Amino acid sequence: NAGVTQTPKFQVLKTGQSMTLQCAQDMNHEYMSWYRQDPGMGLRLIHYSVGAGITDQGEVPNGYNVSRSTTEDFPLRLLSAAPSQTSVYFCASSYTGTGEAFFGQGTRLTVV
């Protein structure tokens, strides 16, 4: 049972480039989310999904795009990378809306 798998683990981008962070879960969870972790700020919600075909914005959605075509996958797209998007990104999934989520190992992104 792999749980939540994120790829890549590390990425360096140049300003203006686009990329997709992959997230897959094998637990048949309905709820999936993306967070970013910055020093001194905890984790902040970027986008979330309550099921295939349904997504919504979190606290810091600007510059990011998501889609949910299957229950298993929830990719996060950076449209035009900026240095302010340098962060560690975590994907999470859960059965219910109560927040007892399983997290992936994270993607460390640096934008230069």
Closer to another protein by Cβ: residue 54 or 80:
54
Please, which of residues 22-61 interact with another protein by CB under 8 A?
Answer: 31, 33, 35, 40-45, 48, 50, 58-59
Choices 16-24, 61-69, 71-79, 88-96 (CB under 8 A): range interacting with another protein: 88-96
The nearest distance, CB 90 to another protein, in angstroms, is 5
In terms of Cα–Cα distance, which of 100, 97, 95, 72 is closest to 4?
72
Q: Which of 68, 74, 106, 109 binds another protein (CB under 8 A)?
A: 106
Q: Assess 92 for contact with another protein (CB under 8 A).
A: yes
The nearest distance, CB 102 to another protein, in angstroms, is 7
> How far does Cα 86 stand from its chain's mean position?
13
In terms of Cα–Cα distance, which of 10, 22, 9, 101 is closest to 68?
22
Return d(Cα 20, Cα 14) in angstroms, integer.
Answer: 14
In terms of Cα–Cα distance, which of 82, 81, 85, 74 is closest to 32?
74
Q: Assess 98 for contact with another protein (CB under 8 A).
A: yes
